[in-house]
Amino acid sequence: MRPVGISNDFLGEDGTNLWGDIGLGALDEAGIPWEYLPENVSVLRPSDIDGRPAVLFAAPAVDTSTFDGVQDPPLLLARFGVGYDAVDLDAATAAGVAVTITPDGARRPVATAALALILGGLLNLGIKHELVRRDRWGERAQWMGRGLTGSTVGIIGFGNTATDLSRLLAPFDVDILAYDPYCAPERAAEFDAALVDLEELAARSDVIVVMAALTPDTFHLVDEDFLDRMRPTALLVNVARGPIIDENALIAALSTRSIRAAALDVFENEPLDPGSPLRRLENVLLTPHSIGWTSEMSLGNGSSAVRAIIDATSGRAPQFVVNEAVLRSPRWASLPT
């Protein structure tokens, strides 16, 4: 059996882990050998996974080609992060491979990042930074910020990370609206959030935060119609996935000031095109899909993925399996407990 594989994108040019401590010491303590994969690839290859008990990966995608000709597929592909839109779950399930994510490791860092973008967007942090850098001090009175206290915050996708955000927002005495077809009203009520439909959330919110997973149902969920319903004083924040927002419609809304501002960590195409109008608009705060990247997230995500690997290699079903059907397959059902 080959060692557990760790995707090569974790490594910097000097050969050290760019993310710092991601909890790999727990594999050593459990007596599980591991190694970094030899090459940085955009899609995991059959040679990267064949014969390994598990692979911990971050940036690479997983598609049907990943499993082509694989004789001994891993039990587990453990994703370092919560998004799995670049993973072909059907292909993994057909190969008998479980896929896990790390919501327990990412929830507080992403919630904190969302709060940072809310405050940065309301306070016009991006343009105020430029006023100093570009000797435009005299324009500062033109960029009066808005307060968060007492406002209404609408959250699209009310999962664990969103509930963490609701806790962080509590000192600001905000009213929280949530849109999530899969969230029970009583669960939302636990966090002082009111479930509403998408149209009401758009119309009533001073701040809207996108925290949903990218699925066919959420693609362009925030479209021209949604943006038209938003208040002209409202801020739109996205810490989820870029394609949930129709970017062209957003650019139009920001250009005409039909909404006040946006704070975006993610985009429809990444990296953001050099010619994108978002780069020139002054009512946008931009970060490069890394606002939540902190030492807290590194250790949290890594430790969660490592726990999944230890469970899988010990014959236990790990937490946070996103293709749960695989656990009913003969391969998993036959594992010792």
Q: Is the distance from CB of 101 to CB of 81 less than 8 angstroms?
A: yes
User: What's at 12, amino acid-wise?
Assistant: G
SS3 11: strand
Average pLDDT, the chain: 96
Burial of 187 (0-12, 13-18, 19+ CB in 10 A): middle
Is 105-286 in the same CATH topology as 4-101+294-333?
A: yes
User: What local confidence, expressed as pLDDT, does residue 270 receive?
Assistant: 96
- pLDDT score, position 269: 96
Q: Which fold has domain 105-286?
A: Rossmann fold (3.40.50)
Q: What is the mean pLDDT of residues 150-168?
A: 97
State the Rg of the chain over Cα: 22
List pLDDT tens digits, range 141-154. 999 999 999 999 99
C-alpha–C-alpha distance, residues 77 and 87, integer Å? 10
Class of domain 4-101+294-333: alpha beta
Against a cut of 0.75, is the pTM above it?
yes
pLDDT at 335: 72
Q: State the Cα torsion 64-70-71-73 to the nearest 10°.
A: -70
What is the secondary structure of 78-135 as a DSSP string? EESSS--TTB-HHHHHHTT-EEE--HHHHHHHHHHHHHHHHHHHHTTHHHHHHHHHTT
Q: What is the pLDDT of residues 84-140, one digit of tens each?
A: 999 999 999 999 999 999 999 999 999 999 999 999 999 999 999 999 999 999 999
For the chain, what's the residue count? Answer: 337
What does the pLDDT average to over 308-322? 96
**Single-letter amino acid, residue 190:** E
pLDDT band at 336 (very low <50, low <70, confident <90, very high): low
Q: What pLDDT does 31 receive?
A: 97
By annotation, the residues acting in catalysis are 241, 270, 289
pLDDT category at 263 given cuts 50, 70, 90 is: very high
Whole-angstrom distance, CA of residue 197 vs CA of residue 179: 6
Q: Are strands 54-57 and 207-210 parallel, antiparallel or unpaired?
A: unpaired
Domain ranges of the chain: 4-101+294-333, 105-286
Say what the pLDDT of residue 211 is: 98
C-alpha distances (whole Å) from 109 to each of 164, 185, 224, 282, 300 are: 9, 25, 30, 27, 9
At 220 the pLDDT is: 98
Listed in order, strand segments (DSSP E) in the chain are 4-6, 34-36, 54-57, 76-79, 98-100, 152-156, 175-179, 193-195, 207-210, 235-238, 261-264, 284-286
Per-residue model confidence (pLDDT) at position 333: 83
| Backbone angles phi and psi of 195, in degrees to 5 | -75, 130
Decide: 238 and 221 in contact? Cβ < 8 Å. no
